[in-house]
Amino acid sequence: MAITARTEEAVAHMGRTGRLNESDVATLARVVSAVLFLARAASVNATASVDEIPRDIRDQPTVVLPR
Distance, in Å, from the CA atom of 52 to the CA atom of 67, rounded to the nearest integer, reads: 23
The pLDDT confidence band at residue 60, using thresholds 50, 70 and 90, is confident
Amino acid at 20: L
pTM beyond 0.85:
no
Q: Which pLDDT belongs to residue 55? A: 84
Instruction: Label residue 66 left, alpha or beta by phi (over 0 means left) and psi (-120 to 50 means alpha).
Output: beta
